[in-house]
Structure 1
Amino acid sequence: MLEDFCATWKLVESRNFDDYMKALGVPFATRKVGNVTKPSILISVDGDRVVVKTQSKFRVTEISGKLGEEFDETTLDDRHVKSTFTVEGDKFVHTQRWDGKETKLIREIRNGKMVMTLTFQGVTAIRTYEKD
Structure 2
Amino acid sequence: MVDKFIGTWRMVSSENFDDYMKAIGVGFATRQVGNRTKPNLVLSLDEQGTVCMKSQSTFRTTEIKFKLSEPFEETTADDRKTRTVMTLENGKLLQKQSWDGKETCIEREVSDGKLIAKCVMGDVVAVRTYVKDA
Normalised-by-shorter TM-score class: over 0.9
- Hey, what's the Cα distance between the residues in 2 that align with 1:19 and 1:7? 28
Alignment match, 1:21: 21
Shift of 1:36: 0.5
State percent identity of aligned pairs: 52
What are the ranges of 5 or more consecutive residues in structure 2 without an aligned counterpart?
Answer: none
Shift of 1:57: 0.6
TM-score, length of structure 1 as denominator length: 0.97
- Hey, what's the Cα distance between the residues in 2 that align with 1:89 and 1:62? 25
Runs ≥4 in structure 1, deviation > 2 angstroms?
A: none
Shift of 1:89: 1.2
What amino acid maps onto 1:114 in structure 2?
L
What amino acid maps onto 1:77 in structure 2?
D
What are the ranges of 5 or more consecutive residues in structure 1 without an aligned counterpart?
Answer: none
Matched pairs, number:
132
What amino acid maps onto 1:13 in structure 2?
S
CA RMSD in angstroms comes to 0.7
- Hey, what's the Cα distance between the residues in 1 that align with 2:130 and 2:40? 8
What amino acid maps onto 2:37 in structure 1?
T
Structure 1, residues 36-83: CA drift from partner, whole Å, max 9, x if none? 001000011122211100100111111011110000000011100001
Alignment match, 2:7: 7
Alignment match, 2:126: 125
1:81 corresponds to 2:82: yes
